[in-house]
């Protein structure tokens, strides 16, 4: 590696660490300042309390000074230590802890905001997803590590100055011993940190696999499946294999770490400082008589710890900077990620439902060579009821993601009214769509908040939405009504809903939003036939003033749709009214006929 490249890497390492310190300082300057002040004052107080006190006492004895000199120094030390104890206790138990919590709160809120902005396609990329999860989980840890590094810098400078003063006064040669030990330890530390980072990278995928299996066994949603099937043995083996892989990698790297640890802790520190240097001090005191016995005690037992410790604190900054920089690189990559799907305009959607047009739309997920949607062209008129049907995997749900700009089209365009969806404000676009996703999620909060999905809510509209979705009967059985918490995540008395009840609550969420465009992706998958019929009636009524898109492989409401699109393998293979498609006697007709007996109640 040439010098220019090394210099560039070194600058990047320093820049990364200062970036994270600066980031933390903006969030909680008090925490950073108190951390640095505390680390400096701690060593100043200990220095005057111990090594310098020994010097004062031994000097008074050796040179027969007045005892008042010792008394004055003792009084000074008592006052100083008392003040330090008060300041230290106040800092650590009150100011420091409060500032730390403010910092971590601000950091987590930042990460939450960033998480809500990243493109959905990032979740499809295993490498990015690993980095994303890793950043969320280690952000506060890395901030703490960086703060500790800068504490070590402040502490190291302080120890170096105080210890250096004693060395210069009593034994300048001792500086050489401390430097040799610190430089050798530094070299080994850099190597150790590189090995530790490589190990973390190696085992990351195995650790994620192990964590996934762990979730399977303790999360409620998997409990029934694990008890009804023998798949648990497969996952136990998967966990075991992942664990064995981690152990195998750890063993391979541990052999190198053991050797380096022996070199650092015992050869370069214990042998040089506690062995060779002690022999030198004893020789100087007993044979050459160049230093006093008191100086031997101070230099060996205390001051060497200050000076060599100071050098080591500063020397360790290099490997520590290098180690944290490798992690900060990932954090910065996550924080600097710019969403591809964004708003470059404040243009709102038309206030009333407008036509939706798809022209030659094709889409493929990142990393996939095949298209999930191919050459889709269709028009949905204002307030139309449109059914998108087809078997699983036909591309129906992908269409939902494109209409709401969770993804952007690969080819072609989608227009609402006279404009491309990309030309509308993104938040306004999504606010205008009420979507029941196929894999909808309820949150561990009240019924009311699950419907409104907001801090503020309209209680009357919530009740109406719940009634329309068929949730009223369940609501009446709840003691706290709309204030009842869903799930037992934070409330032992929380309600556990059946699949059908949960789906009704999710449908109420869509109806409450009062959007111009409603998309129902498999809206009746967990409902019984009667509930399914009632929901379809409600949605049809809503369509009087809204555009409604049904997406399903169940055809219970298609007879009443203004238009039906039959999807297969990402393409539209048939489209028209129910009567048109039945007369074609094609795939739609075949699918409807197979399901017809279930839908005799539909007029």
Q: Write out pLDDT tens, residues 228-260.
A: 455 666 677 778 888 888 887 787 777 777 777
**Higher-confidence residue: 558 or 403?**
403
38 domain-assigned: yes
pLDDT tens digits along 565-577: 988 888 889 888 8
User: Residue 292 in contact with residue 58, Cβ under 8 Å?
Assistant: yes
What per-residue confidence (pLDDT) applies to 529? 63
What per-residue confidence (pLDDT) applies to 269? 65
CA 362 to chain centre: 32
Q: Is the pLDDT reported for residue 59 higher than 50?
A: yes
What per-residue confidence (pLDDT) applies to 444? 80
| End-of-domain residue from the set 468, 499, 514 | 514
Confidence of residue 602 (pLDDT cuts 50, 70, 90): very low
- Exposed (0-12), middle (13-18) or buried (19+): which is 442, by Cβ within 10 Å? middle
Q: Is the pLDDT reported for residue 482 higher than 50?
A: yes
Same domain, yes or no: 29 and 153: yes
Per-position DSSP letters for 552-603, written without gaps between them: ES--SSGGG-SEEEEEETTEEEEEE-HHHHHHHTSHHHHHHHHHGGGGTT--
Confidence of residue 169 (pLDDT cuts 50, 70, 90): confident
What per-residue confidence (pLDDT) applies to 330? 78
395 domain-assigned: no
CA distances from 288 to 166, 291, 301 (A): 20, 8, 20
363 domain-assigned: no
Same domain, yes or no: 321 and 456: no
510 domain-assigned: yes
Provide the H-helix boundaries in 316-453.
317-335, 396-403, 426-431, 447-452
Q: What residues does 520 pair with on adjacent strands?
A: 436, 550
CA distances from 137 to 119, 134, 506 (A): 19, 5, 30
What per-residue confidence (pLDDT) applies to 530? 66
Confidence of residue 130 (pLDDT cuts 50, 70, 90): low
**How many domains is the chain partitioned into structurally?**
2
- Exposed (0-12), middle (13-18) or buried (19+): which is 229, by Cβ within 10 Å? exposed
pLDDT tens digits along 302-349: 656 677 677 777 777 877 888 788 778 878 877 777 778 887 788 888
CA 569 to chain centre: 35
Give the mean pLDDT of 552-578.
Answer: 82
Give the mean pLDDT of 418-438.
Answer: 86
What per-residue confidence (pLDDT) applies to 540? 72
What backbone phi and psi angles, to 5 degrees, belong to 389? -125, 165
pLDDT tens digits along 15-34: 888 888 888 888 888 888 88
Asked whether the CA dihedral 239, 242, 246, 247 is positive or negative, the reply is positive
Q: Is the pLDDT reported for residue 493 higher than 80?
A: no
Confidence of residue 603 (pLDDT cuts 50, 70, 90): very low
| End-of-domain residue from the set 489, 514, 539 | 514
163 domain-assigned: yes
CA angle 544, 549, 551 (to 5 degrees): 145
Give the mean pLDDT of 67-93.
Answer: 82
**471: domain range?**
443-514
84 domain-assigned: yes
Of all residues in the chain, the percent with pLDDT exceeding 70 is 84
Q: Is the pLDDT reported for residue 422 higher than 80?
A: yes
134 domain-assigned: yes
Give the mean pLDDT of 135-155.
Answer: 84
What would the two tokens of residue 321 be? Answer: 């900077």
What per-residue confidence (pLDDT) applies to 290? 77
Confidence of residue 551 (pLDDT cuts 50, 70, 90): confident
Same domain, yes or no: 322 and 471: no
What would the two tokens of residue 437 be? Answer: 């996703």
Same domain, yes or no: 15 and 144: yes
């Amino acid at each position: 590696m040439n010098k220019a490249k090394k210099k560039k890497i070194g600058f990047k390492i320093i820049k990364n660490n200062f970036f994270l310190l600066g980031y933390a300082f903006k969030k909680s300057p008090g925490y950073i300042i108190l951390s640095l002040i505390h680390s400096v004052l701690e060593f100043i107080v200990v220095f005057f309390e111990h090594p310098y006190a020994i010097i004062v006492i031994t000097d008074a004895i050796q040179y027969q000074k007045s005892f008042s000199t010792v008394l004055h120094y003792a009084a000074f030390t008592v006052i100083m230590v008392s003040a330090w104890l008060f300041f230290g206790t106040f800092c650590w138990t009150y100011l420091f802890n409060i500032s730390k919590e403010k910092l971590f709160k601000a950091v987590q809120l930042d990460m939450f905001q960033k998480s809500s902005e990243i493109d959905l396609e990032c979740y499809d990329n295993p490498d990015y997803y690993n980095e994303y999860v890793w950043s969320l989980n280690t952000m506060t840890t890395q901030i703490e590590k960086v703060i500790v590094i800068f504490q070590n810098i402040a502490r190291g400078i302080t120890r170096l100055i105080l210890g250096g003063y004693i060395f210069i006064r009593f034994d300048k040669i001792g500086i050489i011993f401390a430097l040799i030990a610190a430089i050798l330890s530094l070299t080994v530390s850099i190597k150790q940190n590189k090995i530790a980072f490589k190990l973390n990278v190696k085992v990351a995928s195995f650790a994620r696999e192990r964590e996934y299996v762990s979730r399977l066994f303790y999360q409620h949603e998997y409990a029934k499946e694990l008890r009804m099937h023998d798949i648990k043995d497969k996952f136990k083996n998967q966990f075991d294999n992942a664990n064995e892989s981690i152990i195998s990698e750890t063993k391979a790297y541990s052999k190198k770490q053991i050797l380096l640890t022996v070199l650092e802790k015992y050869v370069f520190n214990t042998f040089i400082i506690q062995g060779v240097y002690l022999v030198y001090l004893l020789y100087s005191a007993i044979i050459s008589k160049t230093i006093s016995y008191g100086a031997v005690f101070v230099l060996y037992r205390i001051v060497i710890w200050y000076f060599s410790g100071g050098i080591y604190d500063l020397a360790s900054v290099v490997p520590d900077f290098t180690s944290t920089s490798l992690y900060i690189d990932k954090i910065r990559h996550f924080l600097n990620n710019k969403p591809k799907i964004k708003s470059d305009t404040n243009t709102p959607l038309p206030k009333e439902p407008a036509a939706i047009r798809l022209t030659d739309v094709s889409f493929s997920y990142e990393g996939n060579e095949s298209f999930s949607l191919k050459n889709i062209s269709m028009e949905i008129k204002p307030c139309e009821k449109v059914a998108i049907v087809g078997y699983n995997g036909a591309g129906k749900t992908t269409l939902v993601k494109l209409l709401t700009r969770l993804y952007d089209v690969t080819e072609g365009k989608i227009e609402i009214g006279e404009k491309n969806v990309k030309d509308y404000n993104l938040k306004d676009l999504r606010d205008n769509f009420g979507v029941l996703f196929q894999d909808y999620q309820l949150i561990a909060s009240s019924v009311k908040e699950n419907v409104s999905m907001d801090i503020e809510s309209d209680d009357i509209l919530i009740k109406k939405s719940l009634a329309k979705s068929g949730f009223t009967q369940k609501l009446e059985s709840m003691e706290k009504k709309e204030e009842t918490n869903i799930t037992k995540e934070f409330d032992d008395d929380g309600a556990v809903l059946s699949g059908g009840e949960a789906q009704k609550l999710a449908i109420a969420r869509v109806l409450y939003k009062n959007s111009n465009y409603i998309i129902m992706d498999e809206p009746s998958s967990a409902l019984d036939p009667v509930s399914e019929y009632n929901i379809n009636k409600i949605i049809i009524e809503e369509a009087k003033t809204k555009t409604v898109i049904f997406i399903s492989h169940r055809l219970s409401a298609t007879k009443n749709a203004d238009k039906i699109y039959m999807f297969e393998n990402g393409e539209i293979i048939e489209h028209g009214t129910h009567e048109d498609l039945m007369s074609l006697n094609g795939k739609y007709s075949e699918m409807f006929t197979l399901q017809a007996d279930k839908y005799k109640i539909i007029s």
